[in-house]
Amino acid sequence: MMERSYTETLQWRHLRYVRWTDDQDDIPRGTVSWEGRLLFGYPRIGRILNLRVGLSEQFGDAFWVEEKVDGFNVRIARLGPDIVAFTRGGFLCPFTTDRLPDLMPMDIFAKMPDLVICAEVAGPESPYAEASPPYVQEDVGLFVFDMMRLGQPGFLPQQQVYELADAYGLPMVERLGRWHASDSEHIAGMLARLDAEGKEGAVFKAVDASRRIKYTTAHASLEDIGVAAPQLNDFSADYYIQRILRLALFLDEQGKKVDAALERQLGAAFLEGLEASIEQLRAHGRVFHRYRCRFRTERAAREMMDHLVRLSGKRVNVRIHGLECDGGYWRLSFERQPAVMTGLLSHLLKGGELFD
Amino acid sequence: MMERSYTETLQWRHLRYVRWTDDQDDIPRGTVSWEGRLLFGYPRIGRILNLRVGLSEQFGDAFWVEEKVDGFNVRIARLGPDIVAFTRGGFLCPFTTDRLPDLMPMDIFAKMPDLVICAEVAGPESPYAEASPPYVQEDVGLFVFDMMRLGQPGFLPQQQVYELADAYGLPMVERLGRWHASDSEHIAGMLARLDAEGKEGAVFKAVDASRRIKYTTAHASLEDIGVAAPQLNDFSADYYIQRILRLALFLDEQGKKVDAALERQLGAAFLEGLEASIEQLRAHGRVFHRYRCRFRTERAAREMMDHLVRLSGKRVNVRIHGLECDGGYWRLSFERQPAVMTGLLSHLLKGGELFD
């Protein structure tokens, strides 16, 4: 039998690094190593779908509550002279790495060279995500929510994260305070407010750092569905069903009887995206979504183009539309074409048959 | 390696029969044999999601159009002295077999002993299906749509089916005439009418019997989702996604821009069923759906109970509520409990976490 491989070796400029493509014992997928150093992958976080019972089931003692931001997860670390950002999957992200000086002060790494900052990058000009938080009106923002140390799998205590963020002026996710499970009525009210503000949800972190859990709003479930529906069959069918269940349990939690407006939002999340894709296919022969993002340097923009094309494969085709220097930034525009949806819709609109 | 088995042997009263549990070369799943005779399984029928292009793509010549009825598929045949009905899976159905004298005249089998009648059994008192056509107000009805012969895999020509049905007074699905692909505008109008009447769709059968294809209405997609949603995770997630895609393409075909009423119907199909299941779980500790069906004989009712319990397993629990003789019928009431949904909702409402 062939030895199973858990890693691949990649190169970015002068840096040669290894990323874990799969979990291997205690080393999670997305872990990165270079020159004998190890940057642990960001762990998967469990989710509860009922707050009032869930918080007391999950937490015996106090926990911090923070906004959960809808973007993409990066881990930022110092590598010799460079400060670089890795995606959740363990790829060096040319986009985030290039933009870091715009997104956060970096002097903290001079003082703490083995620090790892975990942050969400979110906004309408994200090269990965299509949803965007309401308070990022253009470009992207960066929101710190955790810190780790190189070579260590766990997180720094949250109190220390807050102190460091304050001391170094790091942009953070919204901090919602320190609470107990007995405050669940109040917390349910906070979630109702986050939902009304179009935010994704909250993360709960035990003060003793022993565990963390997440919970998402109706808004997040609806937005996730609406963003994916134009590429319906390129997402796993479970993706949608999980979100519909979350939505039903959020409404139950909030004591909302299902109402016409919300039913309509759920139906619209599916049907409007599909209608748009059918029209795209008729007009252009393909389904696609356009992205724009901006870079400080042409070199990084070209690295990102290579990165996108390398990630492009059987499932998603990437087509670069252009790269222009404008207003001090290199602006890249490209599209992703979901391959399954393009193929399926084109078969069906040609009158092809399906067996199911 | 162990020889793979494609069949199992079952017993009903004095009859020992073999059913194919899986496709084996040209013998489809659901095929049944006894005493050297073979009753071929009902073949899978392809589906188009676009009529105007699809009909001309699929049919070079004339085809018959018939209503597709939303019930369960049976094949009815004479076995020595008995006339019995098999389900699509190849199980002898104690319910349909018992009720046949109520549902259709049977003298055709005296004249044509090797005839196989393919029919849909549908109505609010079906032991299998939850959806029901609008024109069956109580109990069940039987609607013939195909005929085969024992030992032969194909169908009788549809013209002959119509003649035999007329001659013997067999109840049939609605016949919608003989058409060509060039009549697709008219056919799209028929489908709009079927949709407005709450019917499932249409089946198209080449006059030369070379092929057949089906097409379903928006109503059918919405009803399928609404019926399954209370047992959300007991159906494959693909079940829902396929129906949402069918719905979007039906609307596209009918030139309907997505409207608020329809969006709401789709959202309601999911959320109202889920809300009901959450309430059931809180009130009763389980999710369940109640069924009623009636029998001519106590013996058949008890056979059906055994059949239901035998089919009951890890995925669905069956609980019998009662069997009473009333108004000349033995009335069986029972419930099915979807095991996955009951387990999942109960975990979540206890505050359990999920990883996804």
Residues B274 and B204 in one domain: no
Residue A180 in any domain: the answer is no
DSSP letter, residue A318: E
The ipTM value here is: 0.94
Query: How far is it, in rounded angstroms, from Cα B154 to Cα A13?
Result: 66
**pLDDT in the model for residue A31:** 97
Band (pLDDT 50/70/90 cuts) for residue A2 is: low
| Residue B113, SS3 per DSSP | coil
Judged by CB atoms closer than 8 Å, whether chains meet at A44 and B258 is answered as no
Whole-number mean pLDDT of chain B?
95
Mean pLDDT in runs of 10 for chain B (356 residues)?
84 95 94 94 96 95 97 95 95 97 97 97 93 95 97 93 98 97 96 97 93 96 97 96 97 87 96 97 96 97 90 80 94 94 96 92
- pLDDT digits 0-9 by tens, A136-189: 999 999 999 999 999 998 999 999 999 999 999 999 999 999 999 999 999 999
**pLDDT in the model for residue B23:** 95
Residue B85 in any domain: the answer is yes
Tell me the HSE value of B205 on the side-chain side, using a 13 A CA sphere: 22
Domain endpoint, select from B192, B216, B240? B216
Judged by CB atoms closer than 8 Å, whether chains meet at A53 and B258 is answered as no
Domain endpoint, select from B178, B200, B216? B216
Residues B83 and B151 in one domain: yes
> Which residue segment(s) compose the domain that A294 sits in?
285-349
Residue B303 in any domain: the answer is yes
B268: Cβ contacts below 8 Å, ≥ 6 apart: A258, A263, A267, B226
- Counted domains in chain B: 3
Residues A16 and A150 in one domain: yes
**pLDDT in the model for residue A4:** 83
**pLDDT in the model for residue A281:** 97
Residues B15 and B37 in one domain: yes
The CATH number linked to A314 is 3.30.70.2160
Residue B354 in any domain: the answer is no
The CATH number linked to A16 is 3.30.470.30
The H-assigned helical ranges of A169-297 are 184-196, 218-228, 237-253, 260-284
Given a cut of 90, whether residue A311 has pLDDT beyond it is no
Q: What angle in degrees, to the nearest 10, is found between the helix axes of A51-58 and A184-196?
A: 120
Query: How far is it, in rounded angstroms, from Cα B112 to Cα A10?
Result: 73
Residue B1 in any domain: the answer is no
Residue A90 in any domain: the answer is yes
Q: Give the residue-averaged pLDDT of A63-74.
A: 97
The minimal CB distance from B353 to the residues A48, A252, A260 is found for A48
Residue B44 in any domain: the answer is yes
| Residue A286, SS3 per DSSP | coil
Strand pairing category for B212-216 and B46-48: parallel
DSSP letter, residue A285: S
Residue B355 in any domain: the answer is no
**Closest B-chain CA to A257:** B275
The CATH number linked to B257 is 1.20.58.2250
Residues B331 and B182 in one domain: no
Residues B190 and B133 in one domain: yes
Disruptive mutation site among B266, B282, B350 for chain A (greatest number of A CBs within 10 Å) = B266
**Closest A-chain CA to B279:** A252
Residue A53 in tokens: 């019972």
Residues A153 and A295 in one domain: no
**pLDDT in the model for residue B2:** 63
Residues B212 and B238 in one domain: no
Judged by CB atoms closer than 8 Å, whether chains meet at A274 and B238 is answered as no
Judged by CB atoms closer than 8 Å, whether chains meet at B266 and A265 is answered as no
Given a cut of 90, whether residue A308 has pLDDT beyond it is no
The minimal CB distance from B348 to the residues A50, A58, A232 is found for A50
> Which residue matches tokens 């549990």?
B21
Pick from B86, B103, B71, B83: nearest CA to B33: B86
Residues A155 and A299 in one domain: no
Residues B202 and B164 in one domain: yes
Domain endpoint, select from A143, A168, A193? A168
CB B281 within 8 A of CB B346: yes
In sequence order, what DSSP letters do the residues of B168-220 get, joined into one string? Answer: HT--BPPEEEEE-GGGHHHHHHHHHHHHHTT--EEEEEETTSS-EEEEE-HHH
Residues B193 and B86 in one domain: yes
* Better-predicted residue by pLDDT, A256 or A199: A199
Residues B234 and B273 in one domain: yes
- pLDDT digits 0-9 by tens, B43-75: 999 999 999 999 999 999 999 999 999 999 999
For residue A213, the distance in angstroms to the closest alpha carbon of chain B comes to 8
Query: How far is it, in rounded angstroms, from Cα A161 to Cα A112?
Result: 13
Q: Which residues of B touch A271 (CB under 8 A)?
A: 244, 247-248, 251, 258, 262-263, 266
